[in-house]
Amino acid sequence: MTKVTIPLAQVHKFDVQEVGGKALPLGTLVTNHINVPKGFVILASVLSDIRTSDGLDKKIDSLLTELRDSKMKNVDSVSQSLRKVLEELKIPHHIESAISAAFQELNTDYVAVRSSASCEDQENHSWAGEFDTYTFVNAGGLMQHIKKCWASLYTSRALMYANKHNLPFANDMAVLVQQMINSDVSGVCFTKDPSSDDSNLIVIEAIWGLGELLVHGDVTPDRYWIDKKKGIILDIEVGSQNKNLNSYKGEKLQKNIIRKEQKNQKLTGEAIMTVAKTASKIEKIMQASQDIEWSFFGKHLYIFQTRPITGSNPS
């Protein structure tokens, strides 16, 4: 029987076409003893096989041709039709059983279900934010959210991104399923300063709670600048954070932060250097400047994603 899932620890044995651009770097980090939330990958061939066996490829190709011929004028309606095709597809029993078994091995109540298309997180085109991620998914919602993740290949924004950059429409996707971390502090880290292009500067952004508020630009983060060669903190800019997002029993809860605590620093000096040193290790492993997503839960630092910094703007 064709392989359905592989643990993150084995991802480095596969190529980007099978595990996708988000999972492959994480698998490399795992083999280099960087702390990544445990998880597994549903191989890209799973979606490909389901679509072929159900005869859906012809329907999808026809809709994409229609979209190109219309010069993207009907992108929203075509996107809706394409997403419906994938969200309503039937996952064969043997595939569903293999995914459920892999989920059980994680021994966790909640997971993140994340896109890992082969085109994602590449040096020339990152496709950052074009496909969907779902957080705090339980066993009962796993299969439906995997299908939603597949369907995000055809969001309007992903289709428009491909057209804008004169790229083929993304058409294959592995899915990364990882233990959900209820972050105390989270953020991003650039192993060179994205504004000045200085490769000796590490820049860290940090907020309290889950990173979604930072990704969506809803709060102002702390910013820390670290001299890579000297291993010292050069500057600290504390942001004022008025709200916080965390989870209680799988439900995301947004809370207001009392005024006198809004301007408190998010990371201690020791924690800042822990992130910076880990980021430097990752840069050496990946042999390129990196844009890294991280979080602390208790004293444990987790790495969620690493990708090459594309140009002067990492997004």
Question: In angstroms, rounded to a whole number, what is the distance separating the alpha carbons of residues 110 and 108?
Answer: 6
Q: Is 165 in the same domain as 219? A: no
Domain annotation covers residue 144:
yes
Of 172, 39, 36, 174, the closest CA to residue 107 belongs to 39
Parent domain of 301: 185-308
DSSP per position, 227-262: ETTTTEEEEEE-----EEEEEETTEEEEEEPPGGGT
Domain annotation covers residue 239:
yes
Q: Which of 158, 179, 200 is the last residue of a domain?
A: 179
pTM of the model: 0.90
Question: In angstroms, rounded to a whole number, what is the distance separating the alpha carbons of residues 57 and 294?
Answer: 37
Q: Bigger pLDDT: 62 or 278?
A: 278
Q: Is 168 in the same domain as 200? A: no
Domain annotation covers residue 10:
yes
Domain annotation covers residue 314:
no
Name residues whose C-beta falls within 8 Å of residue 21's C-beta, 6 or more positions apart in sequence: 116, 117, 118, 119, 120, 121, 122, 127, 307
Q: Which of 131, 151, 179 is the last residue of a domain?
A: 179
- Whether the pLDDT of residue 315 is over 50: the answer is no
47, 112 contact by CB (below 8 A):
no
Question: For residue range 23-66, what is the model confidence (pLDDT) as tens digits?
Answer: 999 999 999 999 999 999 999 999 999 988 878 888 898 888 88
Q: Which of 159, 179, 199 is the last residue of a domain?
A: 179
Which amino acid does the sequence have at 289?
S
